[in-house]
Structure 1
Amino acid sequence: MLKLSSCNVTDQRQALAQCRFLAPPAPFSFRWRTPVVVSCSPSSRPNLSPLQVVLSGQQQAGMELVESGSGSLADRLRLGSLTEDGLSYKEKFIVRCYEVGINKTATVETIANLLQEVGCNHAQSVGYSTDGFATTRTMRKLHLIWVTARMHIEIYKYPAWSDVIEIETWCQSEGRIGTRRDWILKDFGTGEVIGRATSKWVMMNQDTRRLQKVSDDVREEYLVFCPRELRLAFPEENNNSLKKIAKLDDSFQYSRLGLMPRRADLDMNQHVNNVTYIGWVLESMPQEIIDTHELQTITLDYRRECQQDDVVDSLTSPEQVEGTEKVSAIHGTNGSAAAREDKQDCRQFLHLLRLSSDGQEINRGRTEWRKKPAR
């Protein structure tokens, strides 16, 4: 572990640059891949702008954890914690260079991975097992796991390389069917809501790979960590997260055939991670759309598991745009969206992932694309 004490301003800036972070010179917890603590005397602290500062009351608590040695090492280094009421969880992330695409902004896969990360960190923070995705004691005893049934992500503004974003997440019961997890994404520097997401999860028996209803015992174990009143990332009626996805027939216009999972695509539950499907869906998008538009909304319905030996076809066709109202700005509670764009600037597509061998449906999806902003 590297420790710098009583350093001058120049030395501190060089040390922070090496670590690829800009932050106040106090020994509080950072979300670093390699544990590094930078400490300087108060008189040598540089005058940093708000966008360079990643500091809050939560992080001050993190400093106390580091000093006291309480909690796990990951807990002490993580820039996240439960909110004051204990019913949701917030975490900050710095967008890394390997998480951005050709536009120097975070890819949708990066966003989806961060949603998954903050969801798992939320589960760990309330005491759930690290052996699976938010499994309770009863679930582990019965060999039950959570699997994604539906994912809906809306991105209003993509964060760029080195931007700091804050993600808040919470979960709620969906009765006997499963559970729901929502997210709000904000630019930490400005407080602007830059995205929202929601997902539905169902229980599966890890041994038989069959779906199972949520028992009262399991519900009681996680309901204590859920908001008492219904809280939705998409509170609007008839919002796009509820819209059904029609199955794409054989009249598809674009395809990418013979996609195969890599070993790295498998998650701790021994099936292809749900973020991998997003990449497969985008593989069959026409290049002219990729060149001129950026992904605004993606909705995926997960129909069956995909295993390591499966070969997958990705199929895509345009979908008729309904109406002229599209999301480009945020107003209201929870980032409630209301804006208009010319409908010719927005394109919609239907997607299907299926097994190459027998055509069984793996995943169906819908994407919406807006014109890329002027750079």
Structure 2
Amino acid sequence: MTKMTFENYFDKHFELRYFEMNKLGLATPTIMLALLEETAADHCYSINHSLFDLVKKNIGWVLVSGAMQINRYPNYKEKITIRTWLSSYSSIKGYRENIIFDEQQNIIGRAKGLWVFFDIEKRKPMPIFNDIKEKWPINSEESINKNIKKKIEAIDFATHIKQFRVNRFDTDMNKHVNNIRYLQWVIESIPEDIVDNYYLHEIDGRFISEAQFGDTVLSLTNIDIENGSFVHTIKIEGSDKVCATAKTLWRKN
């Protein structure tokens, strides 16, 4: 992507903090995902449809698929800007685009997510309010040229397996496991020599079904066809229920 015309976007500025760093003094992948979520939440707040106001009406936004690419992770105290916008809508869902800039306006990361407007009590999608669509006009530019609706097949057997219990604080206001937790579970099952010597360049994920408080989940990881690439499945132990699938690509530090 050589040139982008920006309009109808929302910018959020951050200064990276100590507790957001890894041992190298760089932001972690889960922190970058959290900052993307904070930007989306602030974008909601800016049009008077905050996530807390929506949840009072038993409504929320649920991420069903997404991709994040990071070329360089920010340093401690570095100031970054996350620019977000909506590139398209249907009646119940929308594509959210993101670009991450450093202080010199260099692009250091990109992300794209498919979000569904969701009835929390009925556990099913519902039509997006017209007022939201009017206040979030579309900018058709895409941050990443990737089909995030394409299915990622689940794996049944893995060379690397980690087990986790879903605790109360793993769930969010929509009463389901937050997608940041899934990323943490994926990273925990990556071989230690990869985590120590490589950085997460790209993750592409699909969120298929909900894990509940008290469930035991398995994080399954296999090496994929490309060097530094892996395939992942999060499933409920003792069942065939798949919660999420993903692919990751790691690059040498």
TM surpasses 0.5: yes
CA distance in 2, matches of 1:157, 1:255: 28
| Mean Cα deviation higher: 220-229 or 153-162 | 220-229
Which of the numbers 33, 36, 39 marks the counterpart of 1:115?
36
CA distance in 2, matches of 1:229, 1:358: 42
CA distance in 2, matches of 1:228, 1:176: 14
Assess if the C-alpha contact under 8 Å between 1:256 and 1:283 holds in 2.
Answer: yes
Secondary structure of residue in 2 paired with 1:195: strand
Counterpart of 1:248 in structure 2 is 155
Matched length: 248
User: Unmatched 5+ residue regions in structure 1?
Assistant: 1-83, 322-345
The answer to whether structure 1 residue 146 and structure 2 residue 61 are counterparts is yes
Secondary structure of residue in 2 paired with 1:221: helix
Question: Structure 1 residues 111, 198: closer, same or farther in 2, change over 3 A?
Answer: same
Shift of the alpha carbon at 1:249? 2.8
Assess if the C-alpha contact under 8 Å between 2:12 and 2:83 holds in 1.
Answer: yes
CA distance in 1, matches of 2:61, 2:51: 13
CA distance in 2, matches of 1:106, 1:170: 23
Assess if the C-alpha contact under 8 Å between 2:159 and 2:222 holds in 1.
Answer: yes
Shift of the alpha carbon at 1:111? 0.2
Counterpart of 1:354 in structure 2 is 235
CA distance in 2, matches of 1:309, 1:172: 37
CA distance in 1, matches of 2:167, 2:81: 30
Q: Which has the higher contact order (CA 8 A, sep 6+)?
A: 2
Q: Report which of the two structures shows the higher radius of gyration computed on alpha carbons.
A: 1
The answer to whether structure 1 residue 226 and structure 2 residue 131 are counterparts is no
Question: Structure 1 residues 357, 203: closer, same or farther in 2, change over 3 A?
Answer: farther
Secondary structure of residue in 2 paired with 1:267: coil
Q: CA RMSD in A?
A: 2.1
The answer to whether structure 1 residue 212 and structure 2 residue 125 are counterparts is yes
Counterpart of 2:117 in structure 1 is 203
- Letter paired with 2:133: L
Assess if the C-alpha contact under 8 Å between 1:312 and 1:355 holds in 2.
Answer: yes
Counterpart of 1:363 in structure 2 is 244
- Letter paired with 1:358: S
Secondary structure of residue in 1 paired with 2:42: helix
- Letter paired with 1:274: N
Question: Structure 1 residues 177, 122: closer, same or farther in 2, change over 3 A?
Answer: closer
Shift of the alpha carbon at 1:357? 2.8
CA distance in 2, matches of 1:371, 1:201: 32
Secondary structure of residue in 2 paired with 1:101: coil
After superposition, give the CA deviation of every residue in 1:254-285 in whole Å (9 maximum; x if it has no partner): 1112x012332221222221111100011111
The answer to whether structure 1 residue 124 and structure 2 residue 45 are counterparts is yes
Write 1 or 2 for the structure with the bigger share of helix.
Answer: 1
User: Unmatched 5+ residue regions in structure 2?
Assistant: 1-5
Assess if the C-alpha contact under 8 Å between 2:88 and 2:138 holds in 1.
Answer: no
TM-score scaled by length of structure 1: 0.62
Assess if the C-alpha contact under 8 Å between 1:347 and 1:370 holds in 2.
Answer: yes
Identity of aligned residues (%): 29
Secondary structure of residue in 2 paired with 1:362: strand
TM-score scaled by length of structure 2: 0.90
The answer to whether structure 1 residue 278 and structure 2 residue 183 are counterparts is yes
Counterpart of 2:3 in structure 1 is none
Counterpart of 1:333 in structure 2 is none
CA distance in 2, matches of 1:248, 1:201: 25
Secondary structure of residue in 2 paired with 1:131: helix
